[in-house]
Amino acid sequence: MDQSPTSTDLENVERAELDAEQAHVDRVYTRVDEAARSASRIAVEGHQRGQAQNVGRVRDEEQTGLYERDVLVYAAARRIAELDAEHEGLVFGRLDSDAGDDTEPVAAAEDLEKLYVGRIGVRDAEYEPLVIDWRAPAAEPFYRATSTDRLRVVRRRVLRNKGPRIVGLEDDLLAPDRSPEDLPVLGEGALMASLSRARGHTMRDIVATIQAEQDEAIRAPARGVTVIGGGPGTGKTVVALHRAAYLLYSDRRRFERGGVLVVGPSAAFMAYIERVLPSLGENTVSLRAVGELVDGVRATAVDDAAAAAIKGSLRMRGLLSRAARDRVPDAPTTLRVFIGGATVELDANQLDNVRRNALRRTPRNRAASEARKGLVAALWNKFPEDLRTGVYADREAFGDRVTDTPAYKTFFAAWWPMLTPGAVLRWLGDPRRVSRWARGEFSPAEVEDLAAAIRSTDEFTVADVALLDELGQLLGRPPIQEAGRDEEFDWLEGLSDGVNEVLTTSERRARSIAAAEADEPEEYAHVLVDEAQDLSPMQWRMVTRRGPQASWTVVGDTAQSSWPDPAEARAAMDSMLSHLQRHTFRLSTNYRNSAEIYSFAGEVIRRQIPDADLPDAVRRTGVEPEHRLFDAAKIAEAAGDAAVELLQLVEGTVGVIVPPALRPAIDAVVAEVGDPRVVALSPLDSKGLEYDAVIVVEPDRIVSDTLGGIRALYVVLTRATQRMITINSTTNWLP
């Protein structure tokens, strides 16, 4: 006779299990609310007591400690609850474990030790844990246990949430032979359920389904440099973000005080990932795109391939250093003062000598007093001996007089102005100057390209930001009193979208004070660099300035590099971080793309880069990518048609990835489709993002027009979770 349970039996069991889990989760939420109430009560009482009598007895301190803890738990829980009531719940996992002693059989499910795992830890009034934080050591088996090394776990359960409601259970039985008769096993596995879900416009955390190899990278100790590699879709980004949350948990004092910085490739990418950390209860991490690392600048424009390569090259370092020390363009070339009955004059050569001496040890904006001393000495040498009497008897007295003359003052203001990085960068718009500063290290064509790129726009580009940062360091910040005395001087001047000219002095001051008051640490205790393969040597210099004492997490995949010479970028990173110990992790499974899409993309990149690191894609959809051929004139229309088609076929987002030259036409078509699920974007902006369906417009032009060529196309071909259509007028790229 058939003994297997009927579907009604199963439904009943599942219903009963869901109810039981819901009851526990309800207790957690109730406790969070209680904690909030008692926290505000203790706050009031504590405040009154603090005013009335002595504080500092042990009991009070304990109270304060508890109060602070409750407030923290409450605040974190509230943030999480507000975040996405549709999806994310506080408690998402449960472990049922035995004693690990395989000899004793387990009689009943209730004999197993039960532990709930959640986004944060919550205890009941007796201080017993209702749920433990996913980052706590006790939660490790939830992520690491496998059937071969089960770490005492018999059953791992993922609770699928919609806000505070449990809507499903996904079980994983790790020790079938240890499982008591009455332990139900439900669902088909949490990972597959999570991978097949429709994508929205922002990334979600994976806290309920972190895989063992990912967990190792997340919990790696914060020492030296942790390098996380792996091909597209292996979870590098999401793992890095969970690692940031883990570091804050494991050493909150150090990382909250010192600061954690996450650097990503673009503003679009930062917007895509910005919700992940708050959903894990962390709001203190700074997220910045490489174009936003200098205060006061938010660069989004990108240079063409040639200009970006020049601006990113390490050779810029010498060029900028020479620019920062050179004469100020249009500065006076003679100084003439009438003093003590004589006209004393310094010519261009003498002025150059004074300038060089003053800059020997001090950056320009801090060397005004050196320059002044040098000028006084040079003028004194030329001051006739027979006039050195009375108030002009010695050099010091002479110096006081001469620097007080209007002629000197006017001269000095023009000859030694406080320089902003933005102003000096603009000097590079003149090819003759660039050629002088290049000292033969750049070809004449490169000199022309660089100057033309600087002149072409008032806006700073992403690549300019690293140059501004370098110049900031070369020029130095002016001493406080100089900056204060000179009301007109604003360090941020020229650093924001060319709107500065129309700001009044007081507006500018208010802004710079606001920037200082934002109190973002310029140096961080941990720096996490995503899409690290894209950082140019100059960008590596900028990023490493943010963490001279930091530990690092560096995440990337060379085959996706948009830098023309990935080996150069790699060498730049190696040289900047060479003094630190390195731990390397490799992620091996592509969780994003369907196996059909990824095997195609892998073939494209393997043809050009035989040693590319290709992960395994595990999810099959049965749908192959499709390639369509049209006349060039019909491309935009065809892309629009494909978008309409795909909107019917997928539940989530559709990305239309287009080479920059075709952007206006495609933008128009996308506007016509008029569905917020469809977006158009450039290959560079698609870095790190994903869509349920992707339309790739003119792959050949993506290769020819984008920095990174075939590697940029590989990025584009690995953005889709379910479906991909390419729209072509030529097909040279097809394998």
Q: Does 211 bind ligand ATP (CB under 6 A)?
A: yes
Cα 544 to Cα 67, 235, 550, 578: the distances in Å are 39, 24, 9, 12
Residues 231-250 touching ligand ATP, rule: CB under 6 A, are 232-238
Region near ligand ATP per CB under 6 A, out of 54-62, 225-233, 302-310, 385-393: 225-233
Is 595 within 8 Å of 618 (Cβ atoms)? yes
Q: 450: how many CB neighbours lie within 10 A of its CB? A: 25
Least distance between ligand ATP and beta carbon 208 (Å): 8
Q: Which of 161, 179, 214, 726 is close enough to bind ligand ATP by CB under 6 A? A: 214
Is 246 within 8 Å of 217 (Cβ atoms)? no
In the DSSP assignment, the letter for residue 479 is P
Residue with Cβ nearer ligand ATP (461 or 560): 560
* Residue bearing tokens 């110049």: 471
Closest CA to 248 of 126, 151, 341, 133: 133
Residue with Cβ nearer ligand ATP (317 or 586): 586
Least distance between ligand ATP and beta carbon 718 (Å): 5
Alpha helices in 559-609, H assignment, sequence order:
566-576, 595-608
Q: Is 233 annotated as a binding residue?
A: yes
Pairing state of beta strands 91-97 and 113-118? antiparallel
Q: Which residues pair with 695 in a beta bridge?
A: 656, 725
Dist. CA 231–CA 654, nearest whole Å: 22
Closest CA to 463 of 632, 707, 238, 665: 707
Region near ligand ATP per CB under 6 A, out of 83-91, 190-198, 386-394, 489-497: 190-198
Dist. CA 93–CA 134, nearest whole Å: 9
Residue with Cβ nearer ligand ATP (263 or 418): 263
Region near ligand ATP per CB under 6 A, out of 23-31, 187-195, 296-304, 397-405: 187-195
Query: Which pair of tokens denotes residue 332?
Result: 């006076």
Q: Which of 288, 325, 508, 592 is close enough to bind ligand ATP by CB under 6 A? A: 592
| Contact pattern from residue 685 through residue 714 relative to ligand ATP, giving x for each residue in contact according to CB under 6 A and a dash for the rest | ---x-x------------------------
Least distance between ligand ATP and beta carbon 204 (Å): 6
Q: Is 230 annotated as a binding residue?
A: yes
Query: Which pair of tokens denotes residue 356?
Result: 């060089």
Beta strands in 357-408 (DSSP E): none
Least distance between ligand ATP and beta carbon 667 (Å): 24
Residue with Cβ nearer ligand ATP (319 or 715): 715
| Count of residues in contact with ligand ATP, rule CB under 6 A | 23
Q: Which of 206, 324, 419, 447 is close enough to bind ligand ATP by CB under 6 A? A: 206
Closest CA to 249 of 137, 141, 142, 145: 137
Q: Does 183 bind ligand ATP (CB under 6 A)?
A: no
State which H helix or E strand residue 155 sits in: strand 153-162
Closest CA to 239 of 255, 268, 257, 262: 262
Region near ligand ATP per CB under 6 A, out of 55-63, 209-217, 299-307, 311-319: 209-217
Dist. CA 394–CA 398, nearest whole Å: 6
Q: Does 535 bind ligand ATP (CB under 6 A)?
A: no
- The helix-helix angle for 58-83 and 7-52 (nearest 10°) equals 140
* Residue bearing tokens 């000859």: 415
Residues 550-589 touching ligand ATP, rule: CB under 6 A, are 557, 560
| Contact pattern from residue 265 through residue 304 relative to ligand ATP, giving x for each residue in contact according to CB under 6 A and a dash for the rest | ----------------------------------------
Is 614 within 8 Å of 654 (Cβ atoms)? no
Least distance between ligand ATP and beta carbon 8 (Å): 32
Least distance between ligand ATP and beta carbon 237 (Å): 3
Q: Is 236 annotated as a binding residue?
A: yes
Q: Is 556 annotated as a binding residue?
A: no
Region near ligand ATP per CB under 6 A, out of 206-214, 339-347, 349-357, 387-395: 206-214
Q: Which of 38, 63, 194, 621 is close enough to bind ligand ATP by CB under 6 A? A: 194
Dist. CA 592–CA 206, nearest whole Å: 13
Q: Is 341 annotated as a binding residue?
A: no
In which order are the strands placed within the sheet that holds 720-728? 626-629, 720-728, 691-697, 654-657, 678-681
Residue with Cβ nearer ligand ATP (365 or 561): 561
Q: What residues make contact with ligand ATP under the rule CB under 6 A? A: 191, 194-195, 206, 209-211, 214, 230, 232-238, 557, 560, 591-592, 688, 690, 718
Binding residues: 230-237
Binding residues for ATP: 230-237
